[in-house]
């Protein structure tokens, strides 16, 4: 048999396989999502996410130091307030939980890169990602006024509060803000507000391609952010659609997004590849709580090899085109990189 081309030649041993790898994973590309809550002395495990915890500000340093020791230098803060109201005022309060966590982290860990989730769902009493409309808002003689159903999230009124939240995070020390609300026009509103306050160099990582997904279930338990009624399908994307995701990404880049995120990761890597082809900004993907919980549960039952699955899912995200990877396994992945099990 005469075969000139034999792909197996480049798979002959481990050194050669590493030498010709097309996809490289580096710890500097990893971002760890951390939950911070009001109170003191708190490190409480999240039941639906074994091995993940909610921390009070005085104890979050334990995790931040552990991440740094592993080689992970970037985190994203999610806040869990004591009190909630209809307009999510805790999101933009000067003494809000994320603002306090940022100030403390900046003092104690100046070498860490601090990113914040900008959304209202953890802070509103109804659990939705913005301010709710009342009943029909038309007035007599004003036929152009919009009519929205009771409980509909008011897009344009929400923009002001999202911008206010982003500015409050920047003032408290955020290096980057990441709006996850999926309101139309929020990147432009946040960019304008940051620039007006002098934060021209604070980047925006937009959750541009965020699908309405069942993979978020454990997160809503962790953050106490499940909607009190209805769902989020009027603002998060329909998972049947891909061209819509490209449209969302291009709109956000036009409005000033510096990084585009696709969320979730595992079932949406086709979107990572598509967005990579049509934009010239870095692409992030968020391996969400449901993905983490599935791997943990499968491993606990002995059905899968946890370490190998973690490595494989991470590499698949980078292979699809990710430049940044948000994952609850950030510390483990960094260790596997150091040990030569992934890289």
Here the tokens at position 218 are 């454990």
Catalytic residue among 63, 263, 274, 296: 263
Neighbours of 135 (CB within 10 A): 10
Q: Is 100 a catalytic residue?
A: no
CA distance 16 to 122: 48
Kindly name the residue from 210, 274, 276, 296 that is annotated as catalytic.
210
Residue 207 tokens read as 């959750």
Distance between CA 73 and CA 112 in Å, rounded? 5
The three-point CA angle 166-167-172 to 5° equals 100
Q: Is 308 a catalytic residue?
A: no
Per the DSSP assignment, residues forming a β-bridge with 327 are: 287
Apex 294 CA angle, 292 and 295, nearest 5: 65
**Strands 176-179 and 113-118: what pairing?**
parallel
Which residues are catalytic, by number? 210, 263
């Amino acid at each position: 048999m005469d075969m000139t081309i034999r792909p197996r030649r480049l798979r002959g041993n481990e050194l050669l396989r590493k030498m010709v790898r097309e996809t490289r994973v580096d710890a500097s590309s990893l971002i760890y999502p951390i939950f911070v809550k009001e109170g003191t002395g708190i490190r409480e495990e999240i039941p639906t996410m074994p091995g993940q915890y909610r921390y009070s500000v005085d104890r979050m340093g334990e995790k931040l130091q552990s991440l740094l020791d592993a080689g992970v230098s970037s985190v994203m803060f999610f806040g869990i307030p004591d009190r909630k109201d209809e307009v999510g005022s805790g999101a933009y309060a000067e003494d809000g939980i994320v603002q306090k966590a940022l100030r403390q982290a900046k003092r104690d860990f100046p070498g860490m890169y601090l990113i914040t989730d900008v959304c209202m769902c953890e802070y509103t009493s109804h659990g939705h990602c913005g301010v709710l409309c009342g009943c029909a808002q038309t007035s007599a003689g004003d036929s152009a006024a919009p009519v929205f159903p009771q409980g509909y999230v008011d897009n344009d009124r929400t923009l002001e509060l999202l911008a206010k939240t982003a500015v409050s995070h920047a003032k408290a020390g955020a290096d980057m803000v990441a709006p996850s609300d999926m309101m139309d026009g929020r990147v432009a509103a946040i960019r304008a507000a940051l620039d007006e306050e002098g934060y021209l160099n604070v980047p925006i990582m937009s959750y541009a391609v965020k699908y309405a997904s069942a993979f978020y279930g454990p997160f809503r338990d962790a953050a106490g952010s499940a909607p009190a009624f209805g769902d989020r399908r009027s603002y998060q994307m329909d998972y049947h659609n891909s061209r819509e995701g490209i449209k969302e990404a291009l709109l956000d880049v036009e409005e000033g997004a510096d990084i585009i995120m696709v969320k979730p990761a595992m079932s949406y890597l086709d979107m990572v590849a598509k967005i990579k082809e049509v934009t010239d900004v870095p692409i992030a993907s968020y391996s969400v709580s449901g993905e983490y919980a599935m791997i943990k549960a499968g491993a606990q039952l002995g059905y899968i090899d946890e370490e190998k699955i973690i490595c494989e899912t991470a590499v698949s995200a980078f292979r699809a085109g990710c430049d940044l990877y948000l994952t609850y396994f950030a510390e483990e992945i960094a260790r596997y990189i150091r040990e030569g099990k992934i890289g």
